[in-house]
Each structure stands twice: as C-alpha cells, then as structure tokens.
Structure 1
Amino acid sequence: MKKLILAILLIGSTFVNAQDRYSSGMEKAFELWQNQKTTEASNLFERIATAEPDKWLPYYYVSQINTVISFGEKDEEKLSKQLEKAKEFLDVAKAISPDNPEILIQEALINTAWIAFDGATYGMTLSPKNVQLYQKALEIAPDNPRVVLSKAEWDMGSARYFGKDITPYCKDVERALELFATFKSETPFYPTWGKERAEEVLKSCGK
C-alpha cells in the first residue's frame, strides 16, 4: 500500500513539474516575442511543441509568428519558407485540436499572407478557401471575438476590392469589441489578440 501511495505521489509530482516547465517555457516565449525577438520566440515555441506533442497551442504560436512576419516580406524564397513552416505546424495543431476556430482563423491568415504577396497569383484560389474557413469558424464559435473580427475584416477587404460599401460590416467590428470585453477561456495561454486591432478598424470604419 505504501509503495502504491508513493508511486501515485511520484506521478503527481512529475506531472506538476512538467506543467511548471511548460508554463515557464510558454511565458518565456511570449516575453521574447513581445521584445521583437521573433526568431528566438518561434524556436522556443517549437521546442515546447516537441516536448508537449499533445498540446496544440505551441504549434499554433509557431505558425502565427511565421505568418505575422511574412506580411510585407518581399523575398519570395524567404516568404515561402516562413509560410510553409506556418502551415506545417498548423496542420499538427489541427490534428491535435480539430474544428478549432482559432486554428481555422490562423489558416485563413496564412492564405491572406500569400494573397497580400501576390494577389494575381493566389487570390483566385485562396480567397474562396478563406470564405469557407471564416464561415466554418463562425458556425463553430459565433461568440468568439477573433472569429467575428477576422471575418468582418475579410469581408471589408473583399468589399473594397469590388468597390462596394464596407459600412455594413462595421457593426460586426462593434460586436467583436463587445465580445472582447466578456470573452474568457479557461485554457492557459489561449489566444487573446485582436482587441486593439478591432479598435483601429472601427476608427477607420466607413471611411
């Protein structure tokens, strides 16, 4: 009986230590990212992902960093490497957490980075995919502020491209801001981005 209790305590202690390492690693990676050390942050998230193969968030953040730094990149070879890595890690995140609205949005952002780089080449094939991704994310999580904001921004971009009025989508941005005030997740390190972006979009809304 004593051996059994000892074994249970040891397993519990190992689990707690592993969780502590995960938490401290994630916090350090976010700190690096906040300090504009994107390569170091991506590498650390990658190491955490390797050590925690059942957690989708480290894979998601590797994907997100490599996507964000791709906007505005002019070197096609560098862009391709970054976005291919982003997609590779996101595919793993998707396998761990299927039908996850945050992952669907991130997939659409990868497509958007390609479109922003060369709309003539990638717009026709990737734009319809984004419409589907945002619609699916909205069906899964209609009260997720990042879903509402991201879809609204995509719809605005499409409206501008076709010379249409973006005003109808302003109400969606307003709703996203309302949702940011109340949205909570019990999952540690769950995505929180978007509120400042929603405020920026709303300021220029309808102009």
Structure 2
Amino acid sequence: MKKLILTFSLSLLGFTAFAQTTYDKAMTEKIGKIETAKTADELTALTNDFERIGTKENSQWLPYYYAAYSTIQKGRVLMRSGKTADLDPVAEQAEKYIAKAEALSPNNAEIYILKKITSGFRMMVDPMSRYMQEAPIAQNAISKAKELDPENPRITVLLAEDAYFTPEQYGGSKPKGVELFKKSLEQFAVYKPKTALDPNWGKAEAEYFLSQK
C-alpha cells in the first residue's frame, strides 16, 4: 500500500511539473510576441491567447496581467495612428483584465503601473474635460506602485514620459524627462524580476527616447 501511495505521489509530482513547464513555455512564447507585434489585430490575438491561459491556469495572475498589457500596447498602436477616440474601449478592456489579475495578486506594484496607464488613456480621449477626474486616479496609482516597489524602473519610465510631454509651464520639460529616462536605465541595470515570466518591459522605451536628438 505504501508503495502504491508513493508511486501515485511521484506521478502527481511529475504531472504538476509537466503542467508547469507547459505553462511556462506558452507564457514565454506569448510574452516575447508582445514586443514584436506591430498591429492592433496581432495584439488583440495575443490578448485572447493570454485570456485563454488565464482561464486554464486560474490561480495565476500573470496571464491576466499580460492580457491587460497586450491591450495597452494595442492602445499605443491606436495612439500612434491618431485614433485617440478609440482609447475608451481599450482602457475598459484592459481594466477588466487588471481587475482579474489584482484579485489573484493584490498590492502588486506592476498592476498599479497598468492602472496608471489606462487612466492616462481615458484622459487622452478628451484632456480638457477629463483631466480633473483622471489625473488624481493616475497619480494615486503611480504613488501606490512607488510605495510598493520604489526602485521599479517601469515607474520611472512612466514618470519620464509624463515629464517629457508636459510643457514647462505645467512643471515638465524634455530635459526633465531625459534625466528620468537615464535614471530608469540605471534602475534596469540592477533590478531583477521575481521570475522569468514577471514584467520586464520598459527599457526599450527609455532607450528610444534617449536616442532622440
């Protein structure tokens, strides 16, 4: 009987390890595709892939995090095309996945970073009328992220973007943004994600802005 129990236990461990390996492989492949995706359709497909993984691996927060992040990247593609009017549904969809990720991993700085971005999307649809509502939400999100993980370089990247695109009369400037981008690269040099699947984006954005003359 003891031998039978031991055999069953070993089989269960082997199955768990195989399932984890399959999950890691699928996630690694999909995460890599986010940065190379060029179109809104490609990013929508990735969002759907991450949602399916999240439904299957229902105790994992990262699939829903990346579903939200893929949606956010789709929003950035739309912004570059001048389609800011389409950002409301993008923000709404991203927030749906953010809520699912947060339910599985509360008090997570990476999730608050995404909240800051989605609030920014909503503000960009109509900055004049939405600033008073969305600016405090975005500020609270980034402040909470900094409280939870003060040396996270993605926080500094977002602050750098804000400074870079904010006119001097409102407290920003390109030089201030550049200094923050430089600081983020210093943080990236020493910051280590908790796992191979944890968020590790942002360095390319900082390098891009620093390459602009």
TM-score (norm 2): 0.84
Give the match for residue 21 of structure 1: 22
Could you tell me how far apart the structure 2 residues matched to 1:128 and 1:143 are? 22
**2:63 maps to what in 1?**
58
Instruction: From the superposition, tell whether residues 166 and 75 of structure 1 become closer, same or farther in structure 2 (CA, over 3 Å).
Output: closer
Render the CA deviation track for 1:104-141: whole Å, top value 9, x for unaligned: 11011011111122212322111111111112211221
Q: Structure 1: which amino acid aligns with 2:28?
A: E
Deviations 1:72-129 (A, max 9, x none): 26374x5433321110110111111111111111011011111122212322111111
Partner residue in 2 for 1:175: 183
1:115-154 alignment to 2 at 5 Å?
A: 115-154=123-162
Alignment of 1:178-189 (within 5 A): 178-189=186-197
Residue identity in the other structure for 1:65: S
The structural deviation recorded for 1:180 is: 0.8
Aligned 8 A contact 1:74 1:117 in 2: no
Q: TM-score, normalised by structure 1?
A: 0.86
Aligned mates of 2:190, 2:62 — CA distance in 1: 22
Matched to 1:13, the amino acid is G
1:74 aligns with 2:79: no
Identity of aligned residues (%): 29
Distance in 2 (CA, whole Å) between partners of 1:152 and 1:79 is 21
Where structure 2 has 5 or more consecutive residues not aligned to the other structure, the ranges are: none
DSSP-derived class of the 2:192 partner = coil
Q: Structure 1, unaligned stretches of length 5 or more?
A: none
1:166 deviates by: 5.2
Aligned AA (2:22): R
Classify 1:161/1:69 alpha carbon distance in 2 versus 1 (closer, same or farther; 3 Å): farther
What count of residue pairs does the alignment treat as equivalent?
204
1:159 deviates by 5.0
Separation in 1 of the partners of 2:176 and 2:48? Answer: 41
Shift in Å, 1:172: 2.9
Q: 1:154: Cα distance to partner?
A: 2.5
Q: 1:2 to 1:161 in 2, by over 3 A?
A: farther
Q: Aligned runs of 1:92-103 on 2, under 5 Å?
A: 92-103=100-111
Q: State how far apart, in whole Å, the 2-side matches of 1:176 and 1:102 are.
A: 15
Task: Tell me the C-alpha RMSD between the 2 structures.
Answer: 2.3
Q: Secondary structure at the match of 1:69?
A: helix
User: 2:48: which partner in 1?
Assistant: 43
* Range with bigger deviation, 192-201 or 150-159: 150-159
C-alpha offsets along residues 34-78 of structure 1, whole Å, 9 cap, x if unaligned? 2442122111101001011111111011111112212326374x5
Partner Cα distance (2:195, 2:172) in 1: 39
Counterpart residue identity of residue 16, structure 2 = F
Q: Does 1:10 align with 2:19?
A: no
Task: Measure how far apart 1:170 and its partner are.
Answer: 4.0
